[in-house]
Amino acid sequence: MTTTQRVLRNASLLGASQVLTKSIVFVSYMILARLLGDLGFGEMSFGLSYGALFTVLASMGIETTVIRDIAQQRHPVQLLVSRAVTLRLLLTVIAFVIAIAGSFIFGYSSHLRIVIFLFGVAVMQDAYARLLFGVFRAQQQMQYEAVINLVNKGAVLAGLVLALALHAGIYAVGITYIAANSVLLLLAFIVLKRRFVVPTLRWDVPGWRSLLRESFPFATIVVLGTISFRIDTVMLEAMKGAVVVGWYGAPYRIIEMLGFIPDAVGSALMPAVASLYVNERWKVAGGVRQSIRFLVFIGIGLAAGGCMLSGELLGLALGPGFAPSAPAFQILVWAMVFIFVEFITITTMTAIHLQNQLILLSAVGVAVNVSLNFLLIPRYSLMGASVVTVITEALNAGLGLYFICRSLRERLVSRDLLVYVAAGGVACAVMYWLKAPAGWVAAGAAGAAVYAAAAFLLRGIRDEDVAVLKQFVKRRDGGVAK
């Protein structure tokens, strides 16, 4: 099986499950928008972003180190996993205490402190589960993560339906997430012990020191990346209030939800690239190039539809109370294209040991993001934050591609990407012309068909792409999926 086929197989396992998972998440957001309103949704978004900023103190890049080292067989699996789960538990407790102390230092109201407490617990539970999933991914066994995530999101949805029926508030939502993530953690531990390795909690300061030393570059990257990804929400809350955060956070969460697409590809790509980089380095560029082409094709198609149909899509998903979110959504969807590419560049740079360059990239992104947000949010509010997000993600994706190309001495950007841009422009024009006379649903369907047809006619979709897909399906039917 080629690198592309192996990545496609594992990505499909995660992707198929996450289509179901994210469909459930989408329904959950519909319920949350109606249950909490723009103010409550803004408070929830703030609580999640605040918790995520402190969660990086617990993650410290350990998950990434575990995936890479298991894939490259650098340490005994049982020893590495035991060190990691114990150290992460200790760091999580410390990070949570600091987060709660910070809520007092920053002078938040008692109501917001409770929100921070509830959603901080939920975020840190989820982050700890990602460490356990890292072991599954390192062994290229994605099916366990897929099923567990599906159960988790189903539990969240059930809890939110109950909360809606009882007319509960944001505290009940936070408790729902904590309960569902407790199930997530329990199932992840059970699978880890029964299928992979039995970790033990051990006080191993020398081992922790070694793990942290190896993880430090990744920790720096995670800290900078999380600041870049979450700081706009915290700054909006401080400068404009929770209602504006709700208007910004609602479309942002939808775009974040679509991150399952590059996450599935990147998660499957990393162990494959890490393994190939040791023995068959010449194969790395091909897998990365194909992944970028696929994700840019998907990303531009989604961005075109989201931009032209923003008002209708948000009205359907979130209700009329979030109408002010539509202009921001029209801008933010284009950041999604660069975010898709960024998933691949970060994954690849991690796998081929470009940590220092990744730190530089992340630092530049944070500096640009924070500086521009300070300049634009006071005057342009959520629209300014949206523009800054697009600029930051474009910069990060471009720098990542530059560093990878220089390291591999291969060109990763092909003319196909320009073809997808042209096809996306045609699709936007079709949707613009058809939306008024035919309705937004028909316009969206026509735009999708035109986009795919234009990409094919302009040779952006090649015969070998179709051949790889057919061979992959045939292989699954013949035994891989059995």
Other Cβ atoms within 10 Å of 159 Cβ, number: 21
pLDDT by residue for the chain (482 residues), tens only, comes to: 555 555 555 555 555 666 788 788 889 988 998 899 888 989 998 999 899 888 888 887 787 777 777 766 666 778 788 888 898 899 999 999 999 999 999 989 999 999 999 999 999 999 899 888 888 877 767 778 888 988 999 999 999 999 999 989 999 999 999 999 999 999 999 998 888 888 888 888 888 888 888 888 777 877 888 888 788 888 998 899 889 998 998 888 888 888 777 877 766 665 666 565 556 665 677 777 878 888 899 999 999 999 999 999 998 888 888 888 999 999 999 999 999 999 888 888 877 778 889 889 989 999 999 999 999 999 999 999 999 999 999 999 999 999 988 888 777 777 888 999 999 999 999 999 999 899 999 999 999 999 999 998 888 876 655 555 554 444 444 443 33
Distance CA 359, CA 396 (A): 11
User: Quick check: 472 and 10 in contact, CB under 8 A?
Assistant: no
Distance CA 167, CA 35 (A): 7
pLDDT of residue 197: 82
Closest CA to 65 of 275, 350, 284: 350
Place of tokens 């067989």: 73
Closest CA to 340 of 1, 13, 9, 15: 15
**Amino acid code (one letter) for 288:** V
Joined together, the tokens standing for residue 425 give: 């422009």
User: Quick check: 472 and 9 in contact, CB under 8 A?
Assistant: yes
Joined together, the tokens standing for residue 5 give: 């086929």
User: Quick check: 192 and 199 in contact, CB under 8 A?
Assistant: yes
pLDDT of residue 275: 60
Joined together, the tokens standing for residue 198 give: 């039995």
Distance CA 272, CA 40 (A): 42
Length of the chain: 482
Distance CA 466, CA 273 (A): 23
pLDDT of residue 229: 77
pLDDT of residue 56: 80
Closest CA to 33 of 162, 170, 166, 126: 170
Joined together, the tokens standing for residue 88 give: 């992460």
Distance CA 404, CA 54 (A): 30
For 273-293, b/e burial (b = at least 16 CB within 10 A) is bbbbbeeeeebbbebbbbbbb
Beta-carbon contacts of residue 27 (< 8 Å; ≥ 6 apart): 157
Q: How far is CA 312 from CA 36, 144, 198, 260, 319, in A?
A: 20, 36, 50, 23, 10
Closest CA to 347 of 259, 280, 271: 271
Q: At what angle do helices 260-279 and 326-351 cross, to 10 degrees?
A: 20
Q: How far is CA 438 from CA 29, 316, 434, 445, in A?
A: 28, 18, 5, 11
